[in-house]
Amino acid sequence: MRHRISFLLLTALAACTTAQPTTNAPAPGAAILATPIPAATPVVAAKAMVVSAHPEATRIGVEILQKGGNAYDAAVAVQFALAVALPVAGNIGGGGFLLYRGADGQEGALDFRETAPAAASRDMYLDAQGNVIPNLSTLGHLAAGVPGTVAGMWVLHQKLGKLPWKDVVQPAVDLAAKGLKLTEKEAAGLNNQHDTFARLNPGSAYLKAGSWAAGEVIQYPDLARTLGRIRDQGKAGFYEGPTADLLVAEMQRGKGIITRQDLLKYEPKWRTPLHGQYRGYEVLTFPPPSSGGVALLQMLQMLEPYNLGQAGWHSPQATHWITEAQRRVYADRATYLGDPDFGRVPVPQLLEKNYNKQRMATTLPYRATPSAQVTAGANLPGYESDQTTHYNVVDAQGNAVSCTTTLNGAYGSKVVVAGAGFLLNNEMDDFSSKPGTPNSYGLVGGAANAIAPGKRMLSSMTPAILTKGNKLALVTGTPGGSTIITSVLQSILNVVDYGMNAQQAVAARRLHHQWLPDQIDVEAGALLPAAQDTLQARGYKLSPRGGWGRVEVIRVLPDGKLEGGADPRGDDAAAGY
User: Residues at the annotated binding site?
Assistant: 113, 406-408, 430, 459-460, 481
CA angle, residues 13, 18, 20, in degrees to nearest 5: 115
**What is the b/e burial string over 409-419, where b = at least 16 CB atoms within 10 angstroms of the residue's CB?**
bbbbbbbbbbb
Of 259, 87, 315, 290, residue with least CA distance to 187 = 87
- With H, G, I as helix, E, B as strand and everything else as coil, classify residue 372: helix
- The single-letter DSSP state of residue 508 is S
| CA–CA gap between residue 383 and residue 406 (Å, rounded) | 17
Q: Which parts are annotated binding residues for L-glutamate? A: 113, 406-408, 430, 459-460, 481
- With H, G, I as helix, E, B as strand and everything else as coil, classify residue 394: strand
| CA–CA gap between residue 477 and residue 111 (Å, rounded) | 15
- With H, G, I as helix, E, B as strand and everything else as coil, classify residue 39: coil
388 in active site: yes
Q: Distances from the Cα of 23 to the Cαs of 47, 267, 279, 321, 325, in angstroms?
A: 43, 48, 18, 10, 14
| CA–CA gap between residue 94 and residue 147 (Å, rounded) | 5
| CA–CA gap between residue 102 and residue 465 (Å, rounded) | 11
Spell out the residues 6+ positions from residue 5 whose beta carbon is closer than 8 angstroms to its own. none
Positions of E strands within 272-355: 274-278, 281-285
What values do phi and psi take at 316, rounded to 5? -55, -40
Spell out the residues 6+ positions from residue 188 whose beta carbon is closer than 8 angstroms to its own. none
| CA–CA gap between residue 144 and residue 138 (Å, rounded) | 8
Asked whether 440 and 433 are in contact (CB, 8 A), the reply is: no
- With H, G, I as helix, E, B as strand and everything else as coil, classify residue 353: helix
Q: Distances from the Cα of 179 to the Cαs of 176, 194, 214, in angstroms?
A: 5, 19, 14
Phi/psi region, residue 57 (left: phi>0; alpha: psi -120 to 50; beta: rest), is alpha
| CA–CA gap between residue 3 and residue 7 (Å, rounded) | 6
| CA–CA gap between residue 383 and residue 94 (Å, rounded) | 21
Q: How many residues does the chain have?
A: 577
The one catalytic residue among 149, 388, 389, 405? 388
Of 154, 155, 169, 162, residue with least CA distance to 83 = 169
Spell out the residues 6+ positions from residue 27 whose beta carbon is closer than 8 angstroms to its own. 316, 317, 366
Asked whether 554 and 418 are in contact (CB, 8 A), the reply is: no
Cβ neighbours, 10 Å, residue 175: 25
- The single-letter DSSP state of residue 139 is S
Active site residues: 388
